[in-house]
Chains A and B, each alone.
Chain A
């Protein structure tokens, strides 16, 4: 589903990613772990096309398509979703308006008919029910006044509605207590499907207790230093990132 080859990237002219290779197949969940400043978030922004993050070398193929020349909204249309570490507030825009706008934009991109208000409401209600989210959240302005847990659950709701082929979860555990973490992880697990893939970016191992990955990669100093099965996460938890620090 996702093929990353020899990826180099800079931010403000500074080299952050220095040659990443990564291959994720449909149905797989990969985790990227690494210390602060290792380039984890840069990777998620390079994949989703954020301005200011520049790809200098290498290529990214998503479902066989070259992502490099695509706008962020086109990448979303292709089925790439980023669950933000810090979901953004949009005052005055009800959640439901935002979701409908996003879903229909993606449907337009794919040449599908837009959903009308009735169809949309029915669909969203199914998703909130599935995730155990109170419908009241739909009326509130996007992320405004949401607690940390609510924001992350709202990301999960957006993911459920947009049904991406591939979701990148950027530090989804940050700012959550253990109960909120479990709830969010549960929601994410409900959205796991054989035809979809996920890339979980995290600093700590604890999220991976709930969202169990097929593969774990250690990112440090802009490169993947080691890859392994889920047990690698436990090993890291025990030993820390020290042995990878300054690896270059």
Chain B
């Protein structure tokens, strides 16, 4: 046992020293509950400058005054904020499973179906082994490639220490601390997250995904991500994982801010597969995320692609503020709900600049007794001459006890704007399933095939390696939804 602990400590120390991506190991845990003292405690633990502590406190005080958002079509008992830990030391390896033999076989079955390599399975299941050694060498190569072109990719805590000017300038500039109740809480108590800066004219030489995927530690329930693409740069960032992640926190309130300057482009892809709870929805994660990108510069572009299959409740609206002239915002989404899952997701496209364009393709699939809502806003300001939007929302129902809802809001203050909205709702047909089965394809595979076809436009937006896994995930998420 002692050897295992030692190994883990060594690896973590190694990470911390060489690569700085892993959160510092803390020895203590803040007591349960939330208060100014906890906010101060977190800030002190992270050795933060005064301005950041002040910002956190401002957020906390404002949070106290804010009501819970109740407009979304989701239902859950009130959250007891005092009944949670906001800062805890990493779990002792003694509590972690010693090997995959001790991990829930159902979870392993899913990993197997997704084709996740054994080493990664151990990592995802939280097995206390030295599997990280493998990824360290991979990570080193990546890190070196990134440094050569001047890309900064580190934890947000590290960025606060090493690049305070960038953090101070941009953090909260897209999602102000008082934006909504969940983002406000995040601003007060965020523990870690990622920071990316792409310098002028640089095309990031790799998807910021593989590195992240292998190396990301559990950054906890209040993650904060900030990505800045300077003039003429490009980055593709991939968050999340197709494999269901083990996590003991119920409430997740992350904030992601993207900033694209002149001629810059950010492509942000998410695959979200947090634990959805059991068949009755018990124990699942509440995923209340605020994601927003600002196209500050001319000809800039921000593209969100998401595949949402997990969580008991998803509350998420990745949005674009199209400030710069000729800027482009895109939102491609697949939201799959099964059993008792609830998803209220969509986007906001705020057109401010001239000739700004946005495109929304949302595919919702509901099965079991789940409920899926698309909620979107397209707003054209008076000055947004020549703005254009195209929206397409398609819902697919499996079975007769689920729900699909589309709530599009459109506000246009400019007569020259062109807005298009298309929506369809369909049911997976017995004809299609029988046709597939007559060709030898078993029923569950047939459902996966038909649903993948339905989602194709969105899946095509994902980086290649993830598109394949996401396709499998679509099938797995819907297992048990027919028959």
| Interface, chain A (partner B; CB < 8 A) | 48, 50-51, 71-73, 75-77, 81-82, 84, 87-93, 97-98, 101-103, 105-106, 109, 141-142, 158, 162
Contacts and interface: CB of A to CB of B under 8 A. Distances in A.
Interface of B: 429-432, 434-443, 445, 449-450, 452-457
Contacts of B457: 92
B449 A98 contact: yes
Contacts of A141: 453
Q: Which of B437, B439, B455 has the most CB of A within 10 A?
A: B439
Shortest beta-carbon contacts, A-B, top 6: A92-B453, A93-B453, A92-B456, A76-B440, A102-B439, A106-B440
A76 B439 contact: yes
Contacts of A89: 432
Interface of B is mostly: helix
A72 B430 CA distance: 13
A87 B431 CA distance: 9
Nearest to B430: A51
Contacts of B456: 92-93
Given A72-B434, A88-B431, A90-B435, A102 B441 contact: yes
Given A71-B437, A87-B435, A92-B457, 19 more contacts: A71-B443, A73-B438, A75-B438, A76-B438, A76-B440, A81-B438, A82-B438, A88-B431, A90-B436, A90-B449, A92-B453, A92-B455, A92-B456, A97-B449, A98-B436, A101-B441, A102-B439, A102-B440, A106-B439
A98 B449 CA distance: 8
Contacts of B452: 92-93
Contacts of B442: 71, 73, 105
Given A90-B449, A90-B453, A141-B453, A73 B435 contact: no
A232 to B, nearest CB: 29
B437 A72 contact: yes
A72 B446 CA distance: 12
B435 A101 contact: no
17 contacts: A48-B438, A51-B434, A72-B434, A73-B441, A76-B439, A77-B440, A81-B439, A88-B431, A90-B432, A90-B449, A90-B450, A92-B452, A93-B452, A98-B439, A106-B440, A142-B453, A158-B439
Given A72-B434, A105-B445, A91 B440 contact: no
A50 B435 CA distance: 10
A81 B452 CA distance: 24
Nearest to B451: A92
Contacts of B431: 88
A83 to B, nearest CB: 10
A89 B428 CA distance: 12
Contacts of A105: 439-442, 445
A67 to B, nearest CB: 13
A88 B432 contact: yes
A75 B437 CA distance: 9
Q: Which of A75, A81, A98, A106 has the most CB of B within 10 A?
A: A98
B439 A162 contact: yes
Contacts of B445: 101, 105
Nearest to B426: A91
B438 A72 contact: yes
Contacts of B438: 48, 50, 72-73, 75-76, 81-82, 84
A213 B450 CA distance: 36
Contacts of B450: 90, 93
Given A50-B434, A51-B434, A72-B434, A93 B440 contact: no
B116 to A, nearest CB: 20
A230 B452 CA distance: 46
B453 A101 contact: no
B46 to A, nearest CB: 47
A97 to B, nearest CB: 8
A102 B441 CA distance: 5
A106 B431 CA distance: 20
B449 A162 contact: no
B453 A73 contact: no
